[in-house]
Amino acid sequence: MTRFSLAIMALFAAGAALAQAPNVAPAPAEDTNPVLARVNGQEIRLDEVIATAAEALPAELRSVPPHLLRSMLPPQVFEQLVDRAITDRAMVAAARAAGLDRDEDIRRRLRLAEENELRDALLRREVLPRVTDEILRARHERDAAGRTAEEEVRARHILVPNETDARAILAEVQRGANFEEVARRRSTDPAARNGGDLGFFRRGDMVPEFATAAFALQAGQVSPSPVRTQFGYHVIKVEERRSSRGPSFEDSRDTLRQTMIEEEVQAAIQRIRAAAQIERVQPPASATPAPAIQAEPPPRPAAPPSRR
């Protein structure tokens, strides 16, 4: 990662502070978009310089006016942005002077880039208003209502490689030792750092031997004997039981949002195609049939990138 990228990433923390800060009217300025450089007589203004860093900025900073964002940037970072904008402008001018803007292959690629950007912009306009948090929450509640409630338990466990150690641990817990402390000290499972806490899980989330033992216990109970699985020997304690219709909205928001974006992209494509006048034209038959080519089907259009 470059020093420039690291410096820009340092603004991420500033974004959170900015979002919480009260709105204060900026001091009046003669020009909020001043000229910062000239290349071959062409002006480079502040908004162009800030645009150089747009993709590296967190979402909450992208809507900040350039003149305010400049005041948040460390001077050395801002100088790097100006220098990059100068380099970009000089290279583009050199490319035009060399006649590259008239090269047919380059013009074709530029047209494709323009078409791709227009397509993505259209999909963003069509799709993103249909996947707001309010719509996502309504979809989550509708999906949850259609699912059958399923029992879940929250359990802790202590995992060891042999039965002898497991029985010694069980005896220690039965004598009153704190289960979490013993798990941190003796368990070989990564959950040991959390006192063996596995969180809530459903019967199908665990291997059958573990699930059968855990779901046979009530809250506060410890398995009466070690439970053997393919991973070793477990001492299990159930902390809570509940009925659930699936993960919470907060836990499923990102997955649900991606699902809905993909659905809405396909729906938008169907609407757009239905409104277009489409005519398929068969190419003229070749005198010499070409050999069949095994081709993969074309990929579906990608979901539009979010610009929130």
Q: Which of 116-130, 136-150, 194-208, 260-274 is the least confident region?
A: 136-150
Confidence check: pLDDT of 17 > 70: no
Residue 224 has pLDDT above 50, yes or no: yes
* CA atoms of 150 and 144, how far apart (whole Å): 11
% residues pLDDT > 70 (the chain) = 82
Q: What is the pLDDT of residue 93?
A: 96
Split at pLDDT 50, 70, 90, the class of 293 is low
Residues 20-29, mean pLDDT to the nearest whole number: 44
Terminal CA-CA length for the chain: 25
pLDDT at residue 213 is higher than 60: yes
Give dist(CA 72, CA 3) in Å, integer.
18
Strands 227-229 and 232-244 come out as antiparallel
Q: In degrees rounded to 5, what are phi and psi of residue 235?
A: -110, 125
pLDDT at residue number 71: 87
Global pTM? 0.57
pLDDT confidence bin for 22, thresholds 50/70/90: very low
What's the confidence (pLDDT) of residue 51?
87
pLDDT in tens, 135-149: 999 999 999 888 888
pLDDT-wise least confident of 13-17, 116-120, 304-308: 13-17
* Residue 286 vs residue 11, higher pLDDT: 286
Q: Would you list the domain boundaries of the chain?
A: 3-21+29-102, 104-147+249-273, 150-244
Q: How many Å apart are CA 205 and CA 85, to the nearest integer?
A: 53
- Average model confidence (pLDDT) for the chain? 86
pLDDT for 259 equals: 96
CATH class of residue range 150-244: alpha beta
Read off the pLDDT of residues 26-59 as tens digits, 9 standing for 90 and up. Answer: 444 558 899 999 999 999 999 999 988 777 777 7
Report how far residue 53's alpha carbon sits from residue 69's, in angstroms, rounded to the nearest whole number: 11
Cβ burial of 117 (10 Å; 0-12, 13-18, 19+) is: exposed
For residues 114 and 138, give the distance between their C-alpha atoms in angstroms, rounded to a whole number.
Answer: 36
pLDDT band at 298 (very low <50, low <70, confident <90, very high): low
Residue 167 confidence (pLDDT):
98
Separation CA 193–CA 196 (nearest Å): 7
The pLDDT of residue 2: 52
CA nearest 264: which of 134, 141, 132?
132
**The predicted structure's pLDDT at residue 307:** 47
- Run of H or E including 236: strand 232-244
pLDDT computed for residue 248 by the predictor: 86
